[in-house]
Amino acid sequence: MSSTPTIFISEVGDHANEKVRVKGWLYNRRSSGGIHFLQIRDGTGLIQGVLKADHVDDELFEYAADLKLESSLIVTGQVNEDERAPIGYEINVDNLEAYQAVEEDYPISRKEHGVGFLMDNRHLWIREKGAAPVLRIRHEFLQGLREFFDNSGLIATEGPILTGVSVEGTTTLFETDYFGESAYLTQSSQLYLEATAAALGQVYWIGPVFRAEKSKTRKHLTEFWMAEAELSWVEHDENLDFQEKMLNYTVNQVAEKRSGELEELGVDVDDLIRKVELPFPRITYEEAIDIVNDAGVSMEHGEDFGAPAETALGDHFNKPVFIEMFPREIKPFYMEPTEDGEKAFTADLIAPDGYGELIGGSQRIDDLEILQRRMEEAGLPEEPYQWYLDLRKYGSVPHSGFGLGVERTITWICGLDHVRETIPFPRQINRIYP
């Protein structure tokens, strides 16, 4: 019986000059002058195993010479400090055993592939250097959000995925048969969170939402995750304060805990931290229109911002910027109007560097009659929203909320070209496999 401890690669720093066992996969390899250099990954990190012909018997050295990429391995050896290694250590391999020696060549060799091929092999692609760090950053980003919400006294709650009503119209909904009735996959849990907020005070959820949009852009998925919050007794300005503190906290958590992954992706971490320094600029819709036009992107009052306009705004401020007080008529029915009815207490948070809208939020209408009038104008029937109207009949309070696009925000943090790389198994108009 050996007493060699089995460790994760992320723990090698605690085992310098000790003999350890690592279980992982052969990520890459080269051989040179009687030495095999074996890159071993285990999900927590990557380390080089050095297998020397003069240190092991011939049979083992030959065996290792034939191992194909992604073979699963159990490796024992001594952890040595090596300042040239990214992780600071390497393993001087004493023994090595493949649990499964790969027979066919691994489809994703460590060279360039087209995106279509990588997406078809997404189940393998997520093991690669450019892909796995993004998923670890996603983990940290979502944990950071939850931590911020919990520290702020919010209660995690859930809206249903299957609903009889839609928040923003029915044209882009996935529909399913629900025991003879029509049901739709939710596009947002907002309305439901308004109900749980009236029960629990301040609430959030992080969950999947759906849009059956035919658009093929680098910012859209048909299935994506939202972080949504609803805050009882909170009005417009305080809603923005909350959002900017949330993004500041979460990005700093990611920067602190996943700096290695960010650097692997080529992110300038100091610049990222600078970008989320508080406060974020807040400008009105009108001011934004002027900036966009000054930047040479033609846009008229009453229009919503398209991608070129959002890019112009991002370039102007070079950090996230709130665009406040949109015209009421280009925003959804539930947003609190100003006294003259022209504007709404709403704000979109636009990312720098052309990444577009990260957060959309507003104060919600709390007056029953105004809400009914807006629903009528929007052509929405009252009956399926009866429960939502009840919230204004029985103890209505001023309240505000927002939704953050999880993939959109991670795309920005990681400096990626496309949202599809920020979720393990992306769903797009032409993709539901794997």
Positions 100 through 159 that interact with a copy of itself (CB under 8 A): 100, 102-104, 106-107, 121-124, 126-127, 131-132, 135-136, 138-139, 142-143, 146, 150, 153, 155-159
In contact, 305 and 288? CB cutoff 8 Å: yes
Helices (H) and strands (E) in the chain, counts: 13, 16
The 310-329 site mask, x for binding a copy of itself (CB under 8 A), equals --------------------
In contact, 309 and 267? CB cutoff 8 Å: no
Our measurement of the distance from residue 24's CA atom to the centroid of its chain's CA atoms, rounded to an integer in Å, reads: 26
Q: Which residue in 82, 174, 218, 307 binds a copy of itself (CB under 8 A)?
A: 174
Tell me how far apart the alpha carbons of residues 48 and 66 are, in angstroms, rounded to a whole number: 17
CB of residue 9 vs a copy of itself: minimum separation in angstroms?
A: 9
In contact, 433 and 268? CB cutoff 8 Å: no
CB of residue 381 vs a copy of itself: minimum separation in angstroms?
A: 13
The residues in 227-286 that bind a copy of itself, with binding defined as CB under 8 A, are 232-233
Distance in Å from the first CA to the final CA of the chain: 42
CB of residue 431 vs a copy of itself: minimum separation in angstroms?
A: 10
Tell me how far apart the alpha carbons of residues 84 and 82 are, in angstroms, rounded to a whole number: 5
**Ramachandran sector of residue 140 (left: φ over 0; alpha: ψ -120 to 50; beta: rest):** alpha
CB of residue 128 vs a copy of itself: minimum separation in angstroms?
A: 8
Q: Does 196 engage in binding with a copy of itself (CB under 8 A)?
A: yes
Residues touching a copy of itself, count (CB under 8 A): 96
* Strand (E) or helix (H) holding 285: helix 285-294
Q: Which residue in 166, 190, 202, 363 binds a copy of itself (CB under 8 A)?
A: 202
Question: How many C-beta atoms surround the C-beta of residue 416 within 10 A?
Answer: 19
What residues contact residue 290 under an 8 Å CB cut-off, 6+ apart?
A: none
Quick one: 190 or 311, whose CB is closer to a copy of itself? 190
The residues in 203-232 that bind a copy of itself, with binding defined as CB under 8 A, are 207-208, 210, 212, 214, 222-223, 225, 232
Our measurement of the distance from residue 216's CA atom to the centroid of its chain's CA atoms, rounded to an integer in Å, reads: 19
Q: Which residue in 88, 130, 201, 260 binds a copy of itself (CB under 8 A)?
A: 201
Quick one: 286 or 367, whose CB is closer to a copy of itself? 367
- Closest C-alpha among 410, 414, 375 to residue 392: 375
CB of residue 346 vs a copy of itself: minimum separation in angstroms?
A: 21
Tell me how far apart the alpha carbons of residues 145 and 139 are, in angstroms, rounded to a whole number: 10
The residues in 357-416 that bind a copy of itself, with binding defined as CB under 8 A, are 366, 384, 386-388, 390-398
Q: DSSP letter at 266?
A: T
Q: Which two tokens stand for residue 143?
A: 């944990």
CB of residue 187 vs a copy of itself: minimum separation in angstroms?
A: 13
Quick one: 84 or 214, whose CB is closer to a copy of itself? 214
Q: Which residue in 43, 130, 281, 327 binds a copy of itself (CB under 8 A)?
A: 43
In contact, 389 and 371? CB cutoff 8 Å: yes
The residues in 5-34 that bind a copy of itself, with binding defined as CB under 8 A, are 8, 10, 23, 25-26
Q: Does 88 engage in binding with a copy of itself (CB under 8 A)?
A: no
